[in-house]
Structure 1
Amino acid sequence: MDAPEHRLPPGSAGFPAGFVAPPVGTGADKVNIGRLAQTLWRQKWLILGLTLVLWLPAVLLINAMTPLYSAFTVVVIDPHSNRVINIPSVSEPMGVFLDTVNTEVEILRSRDLSRRVVETLNLGQEPEYAAVVDKPGLLTPVLEEGRALLMDATAALPEPLSAMLTPPPRPAAPTGNTEEMETARLISAFQKNLRIIPGVQSRAIRITVEAKDPQLAARAANAVADAYLALQVEAKRKATQNASEWLQSRLDELRQDMTTTGRAAVEAMRSESGMVKGRDAPLVNEEMSALNAQLAEARTAHANAQARLRQLQSVQPGNPESLTGTDIGGDPLITGLRQRQTALSAQLAELRAQYGDRHPALARPTAELRELNAALATEVDRVVRSLRGEVEQQVAKIQNLSRRLETLRTESFDNLQADVRLRELQRQADASDDNYRRAVTRLKETQVLQALEMTPDVRIVSAAAVPVGPVGPGKTVLAGLAAILCGAIATGIALVRTSGQRGVYSSHQVEAVLGLPAVGIVPMLGRGRRSAGADDDRYSNTGGGDFAEAVWRLCARLHLVRNGAEPATAKGGEVVMLTSSVAGEGKTTLAVALSAFLADTGRRVVIVDCDTRRPTVHRLLGGNRPPKGLTDLLEGDATLDQVVQVDDRRRVAVIAAGRTVDRPQILLGSKAMLSLLVELAERYDVIVLDTPPVLSVSDALILAPLADRVLYVVRWARTASSLASAGIKQVRQVGGRIGGAVLSMVNAREHANLEYGTRPPSGRSYRLRRIG
Structure 2
Amino acid sequence: MEPVITEQPKTEEVIDLRQYFNIVNKYKWRVFGLAAFVAVFTAIIAIKMTPIYSATATLIIEAEQAKAVNFQEVYGLDSSRQEYYLTQFEILKSKSIAQKVIERLDLLTHPEFNKPPSVLAGLKSALKESLPFLPQKDTQLLSAEEIAEQKMQALVKDFSEKLSISPVRKTQLVNISFESEDPKLAALVANTLGEVYIEQNMAAKMGITQKAAGWLSDRLSGLRERLDESETKLQKYREKENLIDIEGVVGLTTQELEQTSTQLVQTRNERNKLESIMRVINEYGRDNLERLETIPEITSHKVVQDVKKEVVISERKVSEFAEVYGPKHPKMIAAQAELKTVKANLSLQVRSLVTGIEKEVKTSQANVRALEAELTRIREEYQRVTAKENDYRKLKREVDTNRKIYDTFFSRSKETEVTSDFNAAVARFTDRAYAPVEPVKPKKGLIVALAFIATLGLGVVVAFVIEALNDTVKSSHDIENKLAQRMLGLLPKVAHKKGTNLNIHYFFDKDARQFSEAVRTFRTGFVLSQMDKNSKVIAITSSVPGEGKTTTSTNLAFSLGQMEKVLLIDADMRKPSVCKRFGIPAYHPGLSNVIAGTEKVEDCMFIDEKSGLTIMPCGQLPTNPLELLSSARFEKLLDALKGRFDRIVIDTAPTQAVSDALIISRQADAMIYVVKADSTRMGLVQNGVSRLIAANAKLAGIVLNQVDTKKAGKNGAYQGYYDYYSYGHENENVVEAKKSA
TM-score (norm 2): 0.70
Summarize the Cα distance change of 1:189–1:627 in structure 2 as closer, same or farther, 3 Å threshold.
closer
Instruction: Within 5 Å, give how 1:102-501 maps onto structure 2.
Output: 102-130=86-114, 132=116, 137=122, 143-147=128-132, 150=133, 168-170=135-137, 177-260=146-229, 264=233, 427-451=397-421, 453-492=422-461, 494-495=463-464, 501=470
Summarize the Cα distance change of 1:457–1:143 in structure 2 as closer, same or farther, 3 Å threshold.
closer
- Counterpart CA distance in 2 for 1:142 and 1:185 is 23
Give the superposition deviation at 1:736.
2.1
Give the superposition deviation at 1:596.
1.8
Deviations 1:296-324 (A, max 9, x none): xxxxxxxxxxxxxxxxxxxxxxxxxxxxx
Deviations 1:717-742 (A, max 9, x none): 22222222222222222222322211
Summarize the Cα distance change of 1:89–1:281 in structure 2 as closer, same or farther, 3 Å threshold.
closer
AA in 1 matched with 2:597: G
Deviations 1:698-751 (A, max 9, x none): 211222233222111011122222222222222222222322211112222222
SS at match of 1:447: helix
Q: Is the 8 A contact 2:538 2:668 kept in 1?
A: yes
- Counterpart CA distance in 1 for 2:127 and 2:443 is 40
Give the superposition deviation at 1:171.
5.5
- Counterpart CA distance in 2 for 1:645 and 1:732 is 33
Q: Is the 8 A contact 2:93 2:165 kept in 1?
A: yes
Give the superposition deviation at 1:491.
4.5
1:295 aligns with none
2:324 aligns with none
SS at match of 2:169: coil
2:31 aligns with 47
Deviations 1:322-380 (A, max 9, x none): xxxxxxxxxxxxxxxxxxxxxxxxxxxxxxxxxxxxxxxxxxxxxxxxxxxxxxxxxxx
Deviations 1:84-109 (A, max 9, x none): 55776734786456544333222211
- Counterpart CA distance in 1 for 2:394 and 2:663 is 122
- Counterpart CA distance in 1 for 2:69 and 2:40 is 70
- Counterpart CA distance in 2 for 1:418 and 1:503 is 117
1:679 aligns with 640
Q: Is the 8 A contact 1:502 1:718 kept in 2?
A: no
Summarize the Cα distance change of 1:43–1:651 in structure 2 as closer, same or farther, 3 Å threshold.
same
2:560 aligns with 598
AA in 2 matched with 1:245: G
SS at match of 1:177: helix
- Counterpart CA distance in 2 for 1:652 and 1:560 is 22
AA in 2 matched with 1:512: N
1:552 aligns with 520
Give the superposition deviation at 1:77.
2.7
Summarize the Cα distance change of 1:572–1:741 in structure 2 as closer, same or farther, 3 Å threshold.
closer
**What is the aligned residue count?**
597
Q: CA RMSD in A?
A: 4.4
Q: Is the 8 A contact 2:547 2:674 kept in 1?
A: yes
- Counterpart CA distance in 1 for 2:465 and 2:540 is 34
Give the superposition deviation at 1:680.
3.0
Give the superposition deviation at 1:572.
4.9
Q: Is the 8 A contact 2:55 2:433 kept in 1?
A: yes
Instruction: Give 1:582's match in structure 2, choosing from 526, 531, 544.
Output: 544
Give the superposition deviation at 1:37.
3.5
Q: Is the 8 A contact 2:475 2:717 kept in 1?
A: no
Summarize the Cα distance change of 1:577–1:134 in structure 2 as closer, same or farther, 3 Å threshold.
closer
Q: Is the 8 A contact 2:587 2:620 kept in 1?
A: no
Identity %: 26
Name the stretch that deviates more: 626-635 or 714-723: 626-635
SS at match of 1:207: strand
1:732 aligns with 693
Deviations 1:146-202 (A, max 9, x none): 32xx5xxxxxxxxxxxxxxxx545355695622222222222222222222212322
Instruction: Give 1:766's match in structure 2, choosing from 727, 731, 737.
Output: 731
SS at match of 1:545: helix
AA in 2 matched with 1:39: I
Instruction: Within 5 Å, give how 1:625-640 maps onto structure 2.
Output: 625=586, 627-640=588-601
Matched, 1:714 2:714: no
Deviations 1:209-267 (A, max 9, x none): 22222222222121112112112212321221222122223224433444457975998
Deviations 1:633-684 (A, max 9, x none): 2222234344344446534332221211111111111222223333333443
AA in 2 matched with 1:431: T
Summarize the Cα distance change of 1:97–1:561 in structure 2 as closer, same or farther, 3 Å threshold.
closer
Deviations 1:131-154 (A, max 9, x none): 63589846756653432xx5xxxx
Name the stretch that deviates more: 51-60 or 693-702: 51-60
1:700 aligns with 661
AA in 1 matched with 2:406: Y
Structure 2, unaligned runs of 5 or more: 262-381
AA in 1 matched with 2:730: S
SS at match of 1:522: strand
Q: Is the 8 A contact 1:24 1:513 kept in 2?
A: no
Give the superposition deviation at 1:83.
5.5
Name the stretch that deviates more: 421-430 or 206-215: 421-430
Structure 1, unaligned runs of 5 or more: 1-12, 16-20, 151-166, 288-411, 564-569
Please identify the structure whose Cα radius of gyration is greater: 2
SS at match of 2:507: coil
TM-score (norm 1): 0.67
Name the stretch that deviates more: 574-583 or 674-683: 674-683
SS at match of 1:559: helix
Summarize the Cα distance change of 1:130–1:642 in structure 2 as closer, same or farther, 3 Å threshold.
closer
Deviations 1:606-646 (A, max 9, x none): 22211012222234344445632211222222343443444
Q: Is the 8 A contact 2:61 2:426 kept in 1?
A: yes
1:324 aligns with none
Q: Is the 8 A contact 1:262 1:432 kept in 2?
A: no
Summarize the Cα distance change of 1:632–1:204 in structure 2 as closer, same or farther, 3 Å threshold.
same
Summarize the Cα distance change of 1:178–1:128 in structure 2 as closer, same or farther, 3 Å threshold.
same
AA in 2 matched with 1:430: D
Q: Is the 8 A contact 1:506 1:751 kept in 2?
A: no
